[in-house]
Structure 1
Amino acid sequence: MNSHRAIHKDDITIVDTKATKKAVMATSIGNAMEWFDFGIYSYLAVTLGKVFFPEMNGTVQLVYTFATFAVAFLVRPIGGVFFGMLGDRLGRKRILAITLVLMALATLSIGLIPSYAAIGTTASILLLIARLVQGFSTGGEYSGAMTFIAESTPDKKRGVMASFLEVGTLVGYIAGAGIVTLLTYLLGQEQMVEWGWRIPFLIAGPIGIIGLYLRNHLEETPAFEAMEKVKTDEKKRVSLKQIFVDHWKSMLIGMIVVFSYNIVNYMVLSYMPSHLSAVLGYGETRGLLLILIVMFLMIPIVLMMGYFSDRIGNKRIIQGGLIGLVLLSIPSFLLIGTGNNWFVFIGVMILAVFLACFQGTMPSLLPSLFFTDVRYGSLSITYNFSTSLFGGTTPLVVAWLINLTMNNFIPAYYLVAASLIGILVVTYFVKDTSGKSLRGSPPAVEEKQEVKEILKDPEEALWWQEERSK
């Protein structure tokens, strides 16, 4: 688009509140189910190491287990490209249903794999294949869910509504951690290694059916439908090459933002239970229970961060979280290293509060980096490449570095370094779009009276036209 276009009353989307709530609920629940499937692997890492890598011992066994965890992230970018490009062509709704079914089937299959004791290295290979399918499906899941919610909500409430997506993530993690903790308590470690570890994975089957039902009853996003209506023969589908050529700057910014966010995310939610048990000698059940409590407490904090991001801007919330991590990561791990229940809780909780700064804002910030016609594809590529390189490898790299250096403060140094990089990029290269229309889309409002206000300042309403014309 080489010239600015005017905005008309009919261009402005008046969002159906009921449809919005339904979209937020169904996407969040589906995301919770997806992350329940994905998360239980993290919480069973120590047990799975004994089942599939019994020839290894201690921290080396944990490294091998997390290597299988990390390998799924190698195919996430492939899944991101595949599902993201399809999502921009066929719609968000269809792809989100497919990713959920694939994830549920892959997770269910893990629960059916014979142990190493029964079939030897074949068991480890089957586990690897199942993890690769999980990674492939997840490549289109989270970025699609972010896109769906961002495009289905009013601009002025995008932050708080999108934060429910991360509430779904936490609920999924809580369900996974809760079941693992309960089973470990009831069965004991010996029974868990023998057969109890299978139960959480087998639950994935019925969960997948419920998630599929919810997502099939969603309507397509207003932003995608509006884009489809104005498409002409002259405006052809955007190719993968065009995405990299025309949107490389937004993708690079997004990758670095996701880099900082996901290192914190996977450090606290995925790596921490194993750090407490395998590295610090903290009881497995105690460690899982502590993380479970922390995640419960994070839910209202995440929603609060989403709420305030609509008022003061998601950029400021993210900056605050990054600065907090630079200042308090090392003190947090000092507290965690004491082994005292209360000090460990306070240390983990400090990290969790700063993680909540990102979880309450990222689902609204990241989709706003891209234009509607390339949003799903660009976001999937950006998010998954960054997550594969940095987020998903965090548990593996940290476990390996601790084993190499025998320094238990490696996780804190890792967090500080990632946060310093994040501060620079967010401060100088990220535009605060809270309350504004998404790039490439007309404004979305909740009430009819808001339309008149928008028409008074059409240039502000279509603020992104300057970027589009470059």
Structure 2
Amino acid sequence: MSHAAAPSTGDSAPGPAPGPVPGPCGPRPPAVPWRRILWSAMLGNAVEWYDNALYGILAVVIAQQFFAGGSTTALISTYLGLILSYAVRPIGGTLMGRVGDIKGRKYVLTLTIALMSIGTVAIGLLPTYSAIGVAAPALLALCRVVQGVGASGEYTAAADFLLEHGDKRGRNYLSGWCVGSTSIGPLLASAIAYVMILAVPEHDFNAWGWRVLFLLAAPLSLVTLYIRRHVTETPEFRQVMEQAKAETVKQSPFREAVRGYWRDMLRAIGLGAGQRVGSFVIQSYFVTALVQNGFGEDQALLAAILTYVVGAPAAIWGGRMADRHGGRRLLVAGYSVFVLFTVPTFLAIESGSVVLAFVAVVVFTVINNIVGGPLTTAYVMSFPAHVRGTASALNYNVGTTLLGGTAPLLAAWLHGLTGTDVSFGWYMTFFCLLSALVAGFALPKSVDEARKLPATA
């Protein structure tokens, strides 16, 4: 399958054109393996979100295996492990972003996949609390930190890599593919977990079955590492390096990003606030909420699988629409619908109706992913190439840590405090409204520059 590098027809992944293709820095040679570039960006996101989704899906099992105390206390402790992996992200993202700005996008992508795979696979090998006591949660926390440092630079580095290789006329569409790839890992995690829960007796699953799910990250990581070792550096980064070398300028991407672009980073964090919370509700809390409201684990996992099935097409379609009609319009419309739909989603989950609950979580996911394309473009393209890795990683990880990473824990706490998940629904509604206002009045111009594709797009 081969398509033009600038996506102009259909929803298929772009591929190499027969002749030189205009890129961000001029013509790109036809020898660039575009399909490999696309997969190198997408598969790393799959590994990152495989672990995140798996940790959320198996939260109840992990709580039983690694923590003492009552079910609520152990579950909250488990979600603290989720927060810990995000607490290190602003620091890890800054370091990884700086590496990307100095050594290249390809180098940092190789490093991130190695760290993520080590952290994920190691969880599958850890002894439990009953075997080694308090050392078990301590080792679990260490694994989450290693995975978090690797993941801190993964998403934005992959987006940098993809967008700098691609044509600016289709940036939101390419970003949609990047967002869509975050559904691959959770889809695999949910599908495999669903099959194992049905096929393996509960006692055996709790004893050893859950470990298999973490160990399966190894082959996926190895394939991604192989592909990433055989791709070329982006032309835009090569141009930055040549210019820095010619001018003998010492690179200080972190200092320049913080001093010169802190307003843009704050704006990007506000723009993504609602979507960050929504993403972590989908990937880390919906299963728990469904189980707590009387649905079986098999039904909860089936609902999760449906959200990941619709997630990728929704993100790609949203990117196309943003390129055709403008990122501002799509973001304002998407967040406005989110403001109206968030609380009803949690009411549907608490209704006891399988149909209402399933429809609600699927529609919630579609809205969340539709805005992901132009949002990712804003995360990355709001900054010049020489500080892009640092600035994009910093704003993405600060927002993800403060808003996304704390969402499941806050949802569990509010449910315990109020007895209903609707209270968390109002919390998320506030951030969706904030993001809608930022999109309407302070959207970075770079998101709307790549618009007005031909009518056939």
**Superposed pair shares fold, TM > 0.5:** yes
Q: Does residue 376 of structure 1 match 2:389?
A: yes
CA shift at 1:14, angstroms?
A: 2.0
Aligned to 1:153: 166
Aligned to 1:75: 88
Structure 2: 5+ residue runs without aligned partners? Answer: 1-21
Aligned to 1:284: 297
Q: 1:255 aligns with which of 257, 264, 269?
A: 269
Q: 1:52 aligns with which of 66, 70, 85?
A: 66
Q: How many residues align?
A: 429
**For residues 450 and 318 of structure 2, what CA distance do their matches in structure 1 show?**
20
**For residues 34 and 445 of structure 2, what CA distance do their matches in structure 1 show?**
23
**For residues 383 and 25 of structure 2, what CA distance do their matches in structure 1 show?**
19
SS at match of 1:433: helix
Aligned to 2:355: 342
Per-residue CA shift, 1:149-207, capped at 9, x if unaligned?
11111011112122111221101110011111111111133222111110011112222
Aligned to 2:431: 418
Per-residue CA shift, 1:232-253, capped at 9, x if unaligned?
3364313422221111111111
Contact 1:329 / 1:416 at 8 angstroms: preserved in 2? yes
Contact 1:77 / 1:388 at 8 angstroms: preserved in 2? yes
- Structure 2 counterparts to residues 32-181 of structure 1, below 5 A: 32-57=46-71, 59-181=72-194
Contact 1:156 / 1:434 at 8 angstroms: preserved in 2? no
CA shift at 1:367, angstroms?
A: 0.8
**Structure 1 letter corresponding to 2:126:** I
Give 1 or 2 for the bigger CA radius of gyration.
Answer: 1
Per-residue CA shift, 1:333-385, capped at 9, x if unaligned?
22221121111111112211211222233222221111111000011111111
Q: Report which structure shows greater RCO (CA 8 Å, sep ≥6).
A: 1
CA shift at 1:54, angstroms?
A: 4.2
Aligned to 2:345: 332
Contact 1:73 / 1:387 at 8 angstroms: preserved in 2? yes
**For residues 256 and 343 of structure 1, what CA distance do their matches in structure 2 show?**
31
Contact 2:303 / 2:358 at 8 angstroms: preserved in 1? yes
Contact 1:156 / 1:435 at 8 angstroms: preserved in 2? no
Q: Does residue 238 of structure 1 match 2:252?
A: yes
CA shift at 1:434, angstroms?
A: 4.4
**For residues 10 and 351 of structure 1, what CA distance do their matches in structure 2 show?**
35
SS at match of 1:366: helix
* Change beyond 3 A, Cα 1:189–1:432: farther
- Structure 2 counterparts to residues 346-425 of structure 1, below 5 A: 346-425=359-438
Across the aligned residues of Structure 1 and Structure 2, the Cα RMSD in angstroms comes to 2.0
Contact 1:35 / 1:172 at 8 angstroms: preserved in 2? yes
Q: Which runs of 4+ in 1 moved over 6 A?
A: none
CA shift at 1:137, angstroms?
A: 0.9
**For residues 422 and 435 of structure 1, what CA distance do their matches in structure 2 show?**
16
Contact 2:253 / 2:386 at 8 angstroms: preserved in 1? no
**For residues 282 and 374 of structure 2, what CA distance do their matches in structure 1 show?**
17
Structure 1: 5+ residue runs without aligned partners? Answer: 1-8, 439-444, 446-470
**For residues 40 and 150 of structure 2, what CA distance do their matches in structure 1 show?**
18
Contact 1:298 / 1:352 at 8 angstroms: preserved in 2? yes
- TM-score normalised per structure 2: 0.89
Contact 1:47 / 1:193 at 8 angstroms: preserved in 2? yes
SS at match of 2:446: coil
Aligned to 1:29: 43
**For residues 188 and 165 of structure 1, what CA distance do their matches in structure 2 show?**
37
The percent of aligned pairs where both chains have the same amino acid is 29
**For residues 211 and 120 of structure 1, what CA distance do their matches in structure 2 show?**
35
CA shift at 1:407, angstroms?
A: 2.5
